[in-house]
Amino acid sequence: MSTSAPRSVAQYLDQLRREMAGDDPALLQDALYDAEEYLRAEVAQNQDQSEADVLEAIAVTYGAPAEVAAAYRTTEAQVSAALATPPPRVRSSALGRFFAIYRDTRSYAALLYMLLSLVTGIFYFTFTVTGLSLSAGLAILIIGLPLFLLFLGATRALSLAEGRLVESLLGVRMPRRPAHAPNRPGAEGWIGRITLMLKDPRTWGTLLYLLLMLPLGIVYFTLAVTGLATAVSVVAAPFAEIAWQAGWLDSGFSPSFPGDQLPLLIALPLLLAFGILLLTLLLHLAAALGRLHGRLAKSLLVARAQPAD
């Protein structure tokens, strides 16, 4: 079906949004931001021409909406292929697939994210609660509304920073540009854009995400630290017992080890195997939580752009 040439920046962005309706929302958000920034800059530099004439003139260099959409898809596929880690060899046995987690770099990155989540969660929660409290307390004053809008703008900047962290460690495609604000009827001017921002579900989804990061960060950090400490302690216990039996450790140190109940040659391998099992389960848990958290971040932090009315 042929599409008429766009006569305004808003129409161009609406057509681009329709062309990329089935693509990743994060990719769509980046494409809309880049297109609007470029098109409005060109219109501002050619104020002696109408907006329709400027769009017609730059259609050759920048491309029609369908061409831009195809170019973004191609670039995204090339970048994803270049940055993708080689897939681990598929194991035929269940045991091989279970221990193949050690070759999955995403599991280690997800474990690192779990360790960092407590720090980021405390910061996000403190920032959000403080911003909401100050905005509500100063609502009766003139400064209350500007402070609240500044706070919302800061939360969007935080969402971009968190998105980069999620994409780097969890491997989930997140936006690299701010969200595009479509020009809808009744949303002209700065008052209309503020109204549109307040009606945007992503505004409140971002606030919810920042608040959720504290309880989630506590859970993630507790699981990661407890799991690592337990697994490493159990793995190290056989070697500590051997060192103590050989007299390599101080005589005042006596590791807690059930040597009286089981023969040493049987207990040490069992304890080592149990520690490796715990560490393997921890990596599987980190990978699973990383995938789930990536979906949560995608649903709350990525704009779900819809065609303009």
pLDDT tens-digit readout, 121-140: 999 999 999 999 998 888 78
pLDDT of residue 85: 67
Identify the domain containing residue 76 by its residue range.
9-83
**Pick from 61, 83, 105: which residue ends a domain?**
83
Name, in order, each residue with C-beta under 8 angstroms of 238's C-beta and a sequence gap of 6 or more.
Answer: 268, 269, 271, 272
218-272, pLDDT tens digit by residue? 999 999 999 999 998 888 877 776 666 666 666 555 555 554 555 666 777 788 8
**What is the total count of domains within the chain?**
2
The position carrying tokens 């161009």 is: 12
The position carrying tokens 């400064």 is: 143
How far, CA to CA in Å, does 206 sit from each of 113, 115, 151, 296? Answer: 19, 22, 12, 11
How far, CA to CA in Å, does 224 sit from each of 2, 145, 235, 279, 284? Answer: 54, 41, 16, 10, 12
Using CA atoms of 157, 163, 166, 167 in order, give the dihedral in degrees to the nearest 10.
-140
Is 63 in the same domain as 103? Answer: no
pTM: 0.80
Side chain identity, residue 233: S
pLDDT of residue 249: 60
Exposure of 82 in the CB half-sphere (CA atoms within 13 A):
6
Q: Which two tokens stand for residue 56?
A: 């017609």
Is 71 in the same domain as 180? Answer: no
pLDDT of 116 > 80? The answer is: yes
Is 175 in the same domain as 71? Answer: no
- For residue 1, tell me if it sits in a domain: no
User: Are the C-beta atoms of residues 16 and 69 closer than 8 Å to each other?
Assistant: yes
**Pick from 19, 52, 83: which residue ends a domain?**
83
Is 169 in the same domain as 251? Answer: yes
In degrees, rounded to 5, the angle at the alpha carbon of residue 255 between the alpha carbons of residues 254 and 258 is 110
pLDDT of 183 > 60? The answer is: no
184-231, pLDDT tens digit by residue? 444 455 666 677 777 778 889 999 999 999 999 999 999 999 999 999
Give the number of other CB atoms < 10 A from CB of residue 232: 14
Is 63 in the same domain as 97? Answer: no
User: Are the C-beta atoms of residues 170 and 106 closer than 8 Å to each other?
Assistant: yes
pLDDT of residue 203: 86
How far, CA to CA in Å, does 228 sit from each of 1, 105, 107, 237, 275? Answer: 58, 17, 13, 14, 10
